[in-house]
A and B are shown apart, each in its own frame.
Chain A
Amino acid sequence: METFDAVIIGSGAGGAPIAYKLAEAGKSVLVLEKGPLLRTQQDSPNGLSDFKRDELYGSGPEKIHTISGVANTGAAFYTSHIEPDLNDEPHLYSHNLEETPVVTIEGYTAQVVGGGTQLYGAVSLRFAPDDFRLASVNAGRQLPEIDLNSPDISILDWPISYSELESFYAMAEKLVGINGSVQGQLKPFPSGNFYQTPLPPNPISTHAKAGMDALGMNPYRTPLAVITQDHAESGRKAGDPKTGFVNRYGDPMGFKSNTWVSLLRPAIRKWPGRITLRCNCVVTHLSSNGSRVTTVHYRSPDGSRREVSGKIVVVACSAIESVRLLMLSAEEDRPGFGAKIRYEENDSLLGRYFLTHCFGGAEVAIKGKRYDKSISLDSDWATDFCARPEFIQQEKLWAGGAIYNNTSDQALPISLARTHRSTDLDTLWLGFAGDTGLYGDRINGWLDADFGTRLSVSFMANQIPWFQNHIRLSNVRDKWNRKSAHIVKDWHPHDGHVMRTLARYCEEILLKGVPGTTPDDIEEGSVYGNGVRIANHILGGARFGTNRNNSVLDKQCRVWDFDNLYVTDGSFMPTSGGANPTLTIQANAFRVGQHLATQVL
């Protein structure tokens, strides 16, 4: 059988950094990616990218759910061209096991070389030091709407500290290509500042900054994985990255620092022959002999069965799909692989403590002023005000979060309509289509009020790790006749407390920053009790820890009872952190990659 030093499943934030580090160390690496390789203009022989500045790429035409036995059979859905067809590969979701699930696009990560880093808004915040030690921080505390000693809540300190990860944050910032500013951040930068210089903010963001300043929030320029200057590490030339085609769009120019243009492509060029990239290849399951994974079973681009082996195997195909792959592998061989990963044992933690983020904010349509939001990146200003230990103590929160303003949302006419009154990706278009009072003159009035005027400020905060929130296998089959993932997830009441508190501060920012605005002008809220909102930050389910009784993975993200199986996407996180997770996934993958290159292979 064909054998590599490492087989890495997934080419996004959790996989590409490991491929980079192993190739740098001279190892042979196979990257298996389920999705296509969509070319930038520079990659393409005819100079045309496979990504387009085209609103129908961000969310395409209507499709209809045809999966039976779910609550939304017959309903419409809209996906990007690089998200899965939900009738082929459904994710099921319910708040609890009694509720009939729905099929959802929330929580799916783009299936393409680069994974989620192709479509994301590129916000690349570090986690705060206390995000890594929330068990210690909360020892002995009494908090509203939660008993921290409850057996179904499990808050773990990470087995690594902020200072242990810090140099890898710096490595990620340098190699990936990120612009931003350090001053104002709560996080120390002892390894140095590798940010590129941010571009001038969109003028609408002035209001967000003014509000943050007025509240003493010490804002800084939101770190974004977009190059603003030539980036020697990846061989990219800077250009003009500011368009309305930002979040949910791949970048035809390669300015957005997805893991293809920033890590895999440079590594393939720098170290020829070390990385083999096979796209359009879905891994169906792993098989093992004793404590070693021996074979990776996958399908070639036309669906033919293939097998390959690696001295080590790294699973990094996004939290839900990674946990599902481990469970499917366990079902193929319950006494062997299943026992090693403790699948469906009473105290099994595989799939448990699934996490996303407490997420919400405030939004206003600014009166009397208008801005060209189509010349923007995803965010301009951020603040760590709500991540400060004294703030967390004062507000009686178990953990804090980051706040930043959104600049690119609703910047274009179709996105303005399809997100009108929608609460998540499953409800795109419903608001506009059903708001039948908007037509003719009234639609002009709506445009006058909302086009180029809407300013939103969002928070991203830790979610309580709760045993009942988990990933399991469903009996609904995908197009390969494999069981689909079923996500069972609800919000803990204390999550509601966190979200109400942070949403209030977001509202304050707008009240202070937008002259003449009153609370009646502001829409303020969160995902608490509202829609699916997995929010595409899918974390946990295979948490790492200090012993096999509290975790699935060890400190190096190795599955406890396997010698050569690692999981490095967001599923490793025991707590979700008070910020968007991608940079932390990348930093941790660099850390694991370095460990594998120097200690294992």
Chain B
Amino acid sequence: MEIIELGSQHLFDLCTKYLARDDDSPRHSYFGAIPAGHGRFSEGWRFPVIEPHCDGDDATRASRNDVTFIYMAPPDAGDGFSVSIRGTFDALYVRTPLKRVEDSRYFALTVVLPAGCCYRYRFILGDTEILDPINPQITVEDNGTEWSSFFTFATFEPITFERWERIILDRLTRHILPFNTQEAREFLEREVGTPRPNHPYLHRFDISVGVVNFLDKLLAREERHQLPAYKTCLAIINRILRQRNPYLEPRDMPRDMFKLLYDEMASGNVPGWDYNLYSGPSFFLQMLRRHAWTGAFCHPKYGGNAGATGWRYLAERYKDADGNTLFDWARSIEPPLGRSTEYRG
């Protein structure tokens, strides 16, 4: 495991806005959607902090991340205070100490880890192992053991949603996005068939430009507070679809069934919807629209827009009379994804 020093200035830059405060009330629990302890901090999902790694070789930038663990000691922690960490990024029995950042309450450790992976960890205070008090991502093992967890850039391993949930999300987001037309599907099939051997983010198996994978990661991290809404609504939708057609799995149901469901959700009036469990199907649909669009056109490091397929779609759709694109996204974006000669990502 490679440990690096980011310097105290940068470590403070990562921490202060989110962690420093006098008021310890759960301002960021979003009315209970985030556990109150984690809800004391702003954007606790940012921790551990995951940044691109660069050691001068362009290719490593996409394939490795700097991961910075932060523990904030109590205000009265003396000079003897110490905290260490163990996790799946190293042999599980190895305890690595965090270092105090100058004379502050922050303790930090930065390690370089492969992108595209999920990890578990715990902090160790004396003889006691604890979950990360800041990061709300928690993984529960089959035996009930809890770990704090995180994933690095461009991870494709499912974290949040079950297979049946991902299928429903795939069908609904395909209905929303512009990739369901014949022309768009031909484009996507060409894209999938185009080998891009140097492409770090391409996920060829995901023809719907990675939107479901983006959702899977977004609901684990940045918008974790909406995870209960997703889980509830997907269960309701699954039940409604199966009631309407008991003979087909959702992945095989005709497009018209999803079109009808979409229109009903847009109107807010969905026959069979359990309004006691979730009162606003139109609200959920509107959130899904925002998420789907973001996933289709975000930077691929977020797990969506796989291989920049969304951007490529626009670049191909809009051209001038001479065939030059009118959306030259690659010009501004770092290589190897884009072709900027200045910007390094």
A: residues with CB less than 8 A from B are 35-39, 41, 45-50, 52-56, 60-64, 66, 74, 84-85, 87-88, 111, 239-240, 243-245, 252-253, 279-280, 299-304, 370-372, 374-375, 412-414, 417-418, 429, 432-434, 436-437, 439-441, 443-444, 447, 451-452, 477-481
Beyond known contacts A302-B19, A302-B20, A439-B175: 10 more, CB 8 A cutoff: A38-B13, A48-B51, A54-B299, A56-B298, A60-B222, A85-B28, A87-B27, A87-B28, A88-B27, A303-B22
The answer for the CA separation of A48 and B72 in the assembled complex, in Å, is: 26
Does the CB pair A477–B20 fall under 8 Å? no
Question: Could you list 6 examples of A-B contacts with CB < 8 Å?
Answer: A46-B56, A87-B42, A303-B20, A413-B314, A436-B282, A479-B27
* B310 at interface by CB-CB < 8 Å: yes
The answer to whether A414 and B298 touch (CB under 8 A), given A302-B105, A370-B326, is yes
Q: How far is the CB of A351 from chain B (nearest CB, A)?
A: 24
What mask results when residues 54 to 94 of chain B are scored 1 for a CB within 8 Å of chain A, else 0? 11100001000000000010010000000000000000000
The answer for the CA separation of A74 and B31 in the assembled complex, in Å, is: 9
The answer to whether A301 and B16 touch (CB under 8 A), given A46-B54, A444-B181, is yes
Which A residues are in CB contact (< 8 Å) with B296?
413
Question: B residues 297-345 with Cβ under 8 Å of A?
Answer: 297-299, 302, 310-311, 314, 317-318, 320, 325-329, 331-334, 341-345
**CB-nearest residue of chain A to B289:** A433
Which A residues are in CB contact (< 8 Å) with B180?
440
The answer for the CA separation of A417 and B331 in the assembled complex, in Å, is: 22
Contact of B345 among A52, A302, A478 (CB under 8 A): A52
Which B residues are in CB contact (< 8 Å) with A375?
328, 331
Indicate the member of B184, B223, B343 with the most A CB atoms within 10 Å: B343
The answer for the CA separation of A375 and B325 in the assembled complex, in Å, is: 12
**CB-nearest residue of chain B to A61:** B222
Does the CB pair B343–A36 fall under 8 Å? no
Which A residues are in CB contact (< 8 Å) with B218?
61
The answer to whether A37 and B9 touch (CB under 8 A), given A60-B222, A301-B16, A447-B317, is yes
What mask results when residues 18 to 42 of chain B are scored 1 for a CB within 8 Å of chain A, else 0? 1111110001111100000000001
What mask results when residues 153 to 183 of chain B are scored 1 for a CB within 8 Å of chain A, else 0? 0000000000000000000000111101100
**CB-nearest residue of chain A to B23:** A479
The answer for the CA separation of A280 and B8 in the assembled complex, in Å, is: 12
Q: How far is the CB of A89 from chain B (nearest CB, A)?
A: 9
Q: How far is the CB of B273 from chain A (nearest CB, A)?
A: 16
**CB-nearest residue of chain A to B26:** A66
Does the CB pair A479–B21 fall under 8 Å? yes
Which A residues are in CB contact (< 8 Å) with B314?
413, 447, 451
The answer to whether A440 and B181 touch (CB under 8 A), given A36-B13, A36-B16, A62-B223, is yes
Chain A at the B interface: mostly helix, strand, loop or mixed?
A: loop
The 7 A-B pairs of least Cβ separation, nearest first, read A36-B13, A280-B16, A61-B222, A436-B266, A433-B286, A303-B20, A301-B12
Which A residues are in CB contact (< 8 Å) with B251?
none
The answer for the CA separation of A60 and B51 in the assembled complex, in Å, is: 16
**CB-nearest residue of chain B to A83:** B17
The answer for the CA separation of A239 and B317 in the assembled complex, in Å, is: 29
* B106 at interface by CB-CB < 8 Å: yes
Which A residues are in CB contact (< 8 Å) with B184?
444
The answer to whether A436 and B343 touch (CB under 8 A), given A50-B13, A477-B23, A480-B21, is no
Q: How far is the CB of B6 from chain A (nearest CB, A)?
A: 9
Does the CB pair B332–A299 fall under 8 Å? no
* B285 at interface by CB-CB < 8 Å: yes
Q: How far is the CB of B9 from chain A (nearest CB, A)?
A: 6
Contact of A88 among B9, B42, B329 (CB under 8 A): B42
Which A residues are in CB contact (< 8 Å) with B16?
36, 280, 301-302
Which B residues are in CB contact (< 8 Å) with A56?
294, 298-299, 302
Which B residues are in CB contact (< 8 Å) with A439?
175-177, 262, 289
The answer for the CA separation of A190 and B68 in the assembled complex, in Å, is: 53
The answer for the CA separation of A45 and B333 in the assembled complex, in Å, is: 20
Which A residues are in CB contact (< 8 Å) with B22?
303, 479-481
Question: B residues 134-160 with Cβ under 8 Å of A?
Answer: none
**CB-nearest residue of chain A to B294:** A414
Does the CB pair A444–B299 fall under 8 Å? no
Which A residues are in CB contact (< 8 Å) with B61?
48
**CB-nearest residue of chain A to B283:** A433
Which A residues are in CB contact (< 8 Å) with B223?
61-62
Does the CB pair A243–B332 fall under 8 Å? yes
Q: How far is the CB of B199 from chain A (nearest CB, A)?
A: 18
Contact of A432 among B23, B290, B311 (CB under 8 A): B290
Does the CB pair A301–B30 fall under 8 Å? no
The answer to whether A436 and B286 touch (CB under 8 A), given A53-B332, A374-B327, A451-B314, is yes
Which B residues are in CB contact (< 8 Å) with A48?
51-52, 54, 61, 344-345
Does the CB pair B293–A280 fall under 8 Å? no
Does the CB pair A279–B298 fall under 8 Å? no
**CB-nearest residue of chain A to B218:** A61
The answer to whether A253 and B342 touch (CB under 8 A), given A46-B55, A372-B328, A480-B22, is yes
The answer for the CA separation of A187 and B13 in the assembled complex, in Å, is: 41
The answer for the CA separation of A371 and B328 in the assembled complex, in Å, is: 10
Contact of B343 among A62, A253, A412 (CB under 8 A): A253
The answer for the CA separation of A239 and B340 in the assembled complex, in Å, is: 11
Does the CB pair B327–A301 fall under 8 Å? no
The answer to whether A434 and B298 touch (CB under 8 A), given A52-B345, A302-B16, is no
* B43 at interface by CB-CB < 8 Å: yes
**CB-nearest residue of chain B to A252:** B343
Does the CB pair A64–B298 fall under 8 Å? no
Q: How far is the CB of A32 from chain B (nearest CB, A)?
A: 13
Does the CB pair A452–B13 fall under 8 Å? no
* B225 at interface by CB-CB < 8 Å: yes
* B245 at interface by CB-CB < 8 Å: no
Q: How far is the CB of B57 from chain A (nearest CB, A)?
A: 11
Contact of B178 among A301, A370, A447 (CB under 8 A): A447
Which A residues are in CB contact (< 8 Å) with B262?
436, 439
The answer for the CA separation of A452 and B15 in the assembled complex, in Å, is: 38
The answer for the CA separation of A417 and B28 in the assembled complex, in Å, is: 27
Does the CB pair B176–A440 fall under 8 Å? yes
Which A residues are in CB contact (< 8 Å) with B20?
280, 299, 301-303
* B269 at interface by CB-CB < 8 Å: no
Which A residues are in CB contact (< 8 Å) with B222?
60-61
The answer for the CA separation of A56 and B301 in the assembled complex, in Å, is: 11
Q: How far is the CB of A442 from chain B (nearest CB, A)?
A: 9
The answer for the CA separation of A54 and B52 in the assembled complex, in Å, is: 13
Contact of A47 among B56, B289, B297 (CB under 8 A): B56
**CB-nearest residue of chain B to A413:** B297
Q: How far is the CB of A377 from chain B (nearest CB, A)?
A: 13
Does the CB pair A302–B72 fall under 8 Å? yes
